[in-house]
Amino acid sequence: MKKRFSEAQIIKLLKEHEQGVSASDICRRYGIGNSTFYQWKSKYSGLSLSEVKRLKHLEEENKQLKRLVADLALDKTILEKAQKTL
C-alpha cells in the first residue's frame, strides 16, 4: 500500500488539531480514518519534524540490528547442531 502522507503532512494535521480543529473534521477533510488519526497522534504528538525524521531513522536502524541479531542466532544454532553431529 502506498504511503499517502509524509511526516511533514502528519505534523501539519496534528498542529491543526492542537489549534482547535476537531479530529472528525480533519479526518473528513483529508480522507483518513479516526483510528489512523489517533495512531498518528499517539506516535507523533508534540514532536517537531526533525524529531520525527530522527525517530524514523532510529526505527529503521533498530529493525536492521534486530535482523542482524536474528541471523547471528540462527547461525549459532546451526553451528551448535553441526558440532553435536560430529
Taking residue 14's Cβ as centre, other Cβ atoms within 10 Å add up to 20
26: its cell numbers: 480533519
Which pTM was predicted?
Answer: 0.66
19: its cell numbers: 489549534
Give tens-digit pLDDT for 25-83.
999 999 999 999 999 999 898 888 899 889 889 999 999 999 999 999 999 999 999 99
Cβ–Cβ < 8 Å for 53, 7: yes
> How many residues are given for the chain?
86
